[in-house]
Chains A and B, each alone.
Chain A
Amino acid sequence: MAPMEARTNSVPGGWEPGDLTRVPFALYSDPAVYAREQEALFRGPIWHYLGLEAEVPNPGDWRTTQIGDAPIVLARALDGSLNAFENRCAHRGSLLCLAPCGNSKTLTCVYHAWGYDLKGNLTGVAFRRGVQGKGGMPADFDMKAHGLRKLRVASIAGIVFATYSAAAPSLDDYLGPAIAQRIRRVMKGPPKVLGYYTQTLPNNWKLYIENVKDSYHASLLHLFFTTFELNRLSQPGGIIVDSSGGHHVSYSMIEAATGETEYAGAGLRSDRQGYRLADPSMLMGKDEFGDGVTLQILTVFPTFVLQQIQNSLALRRIVPTGTGETALHWTYFGFADDDEEMELLRLKQANLIGPGGYISMEDGAVGGFVQRAIGGAADDVSVLMMGGHEAESQDTRATESSIRGFWKAYRALMGL
């Protein structure tokens, strides 16, 4: 057994500035870090996914969502514009919209009946002039100064984002051309929501987004993928990391595997032979995007995922609910012009993803394995050296470049 001194994982001098190959475990459990993230990331100068335009198609439609700890309403005002504001009455701070979604001309707080339009402007205060000449608001009460806290809203290809910050660049500039192009690639027509599920993850939110960006693990942890050659690291593909590091795309294409020896040679668990489906109809995917790309996982920093696994399409929204707990919201979708056969294929391929998915099932648990293991290791670090030290695009998926990219963007925004 190696002596204690041989251990090289720890960073006794602290987190070296600019180092992307080590991540202190303390970041996954420290309440002060959580609080700082709410300020610097979730209310910071970046954009957050809210929902689809198609989820609020008509004037008066609204839908509740979240950015970090803050409850948010996405609304389509009566003039057709998209608006986002905090779901909190400007009077005493009560939740305004209690249902997940609805349609109304105004939003009225149940507590004291203050009313707002769907742009977040205060339009009514109950008993503002008092009752029988007594009470009421002072004459100088300014309705305009007591609206809901509004966010900037912008969309790309029907996907709505918002930011708290006037300092945030435009959404297009935030995403950059490479990411924007691959969002548009998937959102090829008017989307149609097929269902919603939420998964409660027993781990810090960053362990989940790291997992999504981790192209290295995909074919090792997920045997289902590998066995059916939906995803092997030897398939043509690669990763794209934007210049901030925060956004990424991992993609792969189907190509008949020939003479592969890396998997068999390494005796990896994920290459068992002889495992065949009784009903393979689920895997009879269609090349609906016409480019042979069968898998595209895209993230927008910090908590948005757009997923194409064959014809299984989903938007994932990550909401931290504590240092060691995360809500993962899944929106499964297809397109308005899907025929019956295509929709059935999507329903079958939905078996790959979500809380019970053949592929994503393990992702719900593996973050918890880390969270439970690092309980006594706040002074230790994780290691991210596959594919080098930087966070650049690479034409291989046997790399941790996009995870390093996450930490590059994270350190910049958090000032760490």
Chain B
Amino acid sequence: MAEDDRRRHFEIEQLLARYAHCLDDDRLEEWPKFFAETCTYKITSAENQRCNLPVGLFFANTRGMLEDRVSALREANIYEPQRYRHFIAQIVILECDDAVARVQSSFQIVRIMQDGRTMLFATGCYLDRIAIGAAPFLFEERIVVCDSDRIDTLLAIPF
């Protein structure tokens, strides 16, 4: 692997890791900044994806909609305090040129409730299109494909 490719791969891995830490550390206000101004973010399921059913558990096509999700979680919605712990693995760069990389990775999300109850909340894969032409790298598209279409109680914090 050329040094440039190695560096690019490293930076993409860092982006994915920083994204996970941002959510897990409850720095939700920083979360939209990982995305381009015009972007696609969708949480869907493998079954809906397989059947070409377009509706998501959450869908945004602007960074503004992501910001709205955060302000709703902070100001409007009622849910018990909870945290996630993301585990990201099997990061593969499917396609890449100087401007855009298409990346797939696996995730596992553990949810920790305020009373300590800890459960495996979701598994699946991220299908990403990342703008890599300039720093910082930004998600142009992040499709979160959950292996299951079943959600325990509610989905508040994004994946």
Residues in A neighbouring B149, C-beta threshold 8 A: 196-198
Q: A195-B48, A195-B56, A196-B47 are in contact. Are A362 and B79 (CB under 8 A)?
A: yes
Question: In the bound complex, what is the Cα–Cα distance between A368 and B69 (angstroms)?
Answer: 23
Chain A residues with Cβ below 8 Å from B55 are: 194-195, 332, 346-347, 350
CB of B59 within 8 A of CB of A368, answer: no
| Nearest chain B CB to A414 CB, angstrom units | 28
Query: Closest approach, in angstroms, between the C-beta of A412 and any C-beta of chain B?
Result: 32
A365 touches B78 (CB 8 A): yes
Given contacts A197-B149, A356-B57, contact A223 B154 (CB under 8 A): no
A 347-363 to B, binary, CB cutoff 8 A, 1 in contact else 0: 11011001110100110
Is B120 part of the binding interface, using a Cβ–Cβ cutoff of 8 Å?
no
Pick the contact of B153 from A195, A202, A279 — CB < 8 Å? Answer: A202
Residues of A within 8 A of B53 (CB): 193-196
* B58: Cβ under 8 A from any A Cβ: yes
Q: Kindly list chain A residues whose C-beta atoms are within 8 Å of the C-beta of B54.
A: 194-195, 343, 347
Interface size on A, residues (CB 8 A): 40
Whole-angstrom distance between the Cβ of B119 and the nearest chain A Cβ: 11
A361 contacts B77, C-beta separation under 8 Å: yes
Tell whether B64 is near chain A: CB-to-CB under 8 Å.
yes
Q: How far is the CA of A187 from the CA of B43 in the complex (A)?
A: 27
In angstroms, how far is the closest chain B Cβ from the Cβ of A285?
16
Q: Is A81 an interface residue (CB 8 A)?
A: no
Asked if residues A358 and B67 are in contact (CB atoms below 8 Å), the reply is no
> Beyond A194-B54, A279-B62, is A365–B79 a contact (Cβ under 8 Å)?
yes
> Which residues of chain B have C-beta atoms less than 8 A from A277's C-beta?
64, 68, 71
Identify B48's interface contact among A196, A278, A346, A348, CB under 8 A: A196
A223 to B69, CA, bound (A): 13
Q: Which chain B residues numbered 41 to 83 have a C-beta less than 8 Å away from chain A?
A: 43-45, 47-48, 53-62, 64-65, 67-69, 71-72, 75-80
Are B153 and A200 touching (Cβ within 8 A)?
yes
- Count residues on chain B whose CB falls below 8 Å from chain A CBs: 36
Partner of A223, one of B58, B60, B75: B75
List chain B residues, Cβ under 8 A from A174.
Answer: none
Is B56 a contact of A347 with CB atoms below 8 Å?
yes
Residues A364 and B72 in contact in the complex (CB < 8 Å), given A195-B56, A279-B64, A279-B65: no
Question: In the bound complex, how far is the Cα of B55 from the Cα of A69, in angstroms?
Answer: 28
Q: Does A141 contact B (CB under 8 A)?
A: no
Residues in A with CB closer than 8 Å to B79 are 361-362, 365
Contacts of B150 in A (CB 8 A): 197-200, 327
B134 in the interface (beta carbon within 8 A): no
Determine if B152 is an interface residue (Cβ-Cβ < 8 Å). Answer: yes
Cβ contacts under 8 Å, A223 to chain B: 75-78
Residue of B nearest to A368 (CB): B153
Instruction: Give the distance in Å from the alpha carbon of A278 to the alpha carbon of B72 in the complex.
Output: 11
Closest CB-CB distance, B121 to chain A, in whole Å?
Answer: 11
* Most A CB within 10 A of own CB, among B57, B64, B80: B57
Give min CB distance, A228 to chain B, whole Å.
9
Contact (A350, B154) CB under 8 Å given A278-B64, A278-B68, A279-B68: no
Q: Known contacts A196-B47, A200-B150, A277-B68; can you find 8 more A-B pairs with CB under 8 A?
A: A199-B153, A199-B154, A279-B68, A282-B65, A356-B57, A361-B155, A364-B153, A365-B79
B contact set with A: CB distance below 8 Å:
43-45, 47-48, 53-62, 64-65, 67-69, 71-72, 75-80, 149-156
8 contacts between A and B (CB under 8 A): A223-B77, A344-B61, A346-B55, A356-B43, A356-B58, A356-B155, A358-B77, A365-B79
Closest 6 pairs between A and B when the two form their complex, measured CB to CB: A279-B64, A195-B55, A356-B155, A278-B64, A355-B151, A364-B154
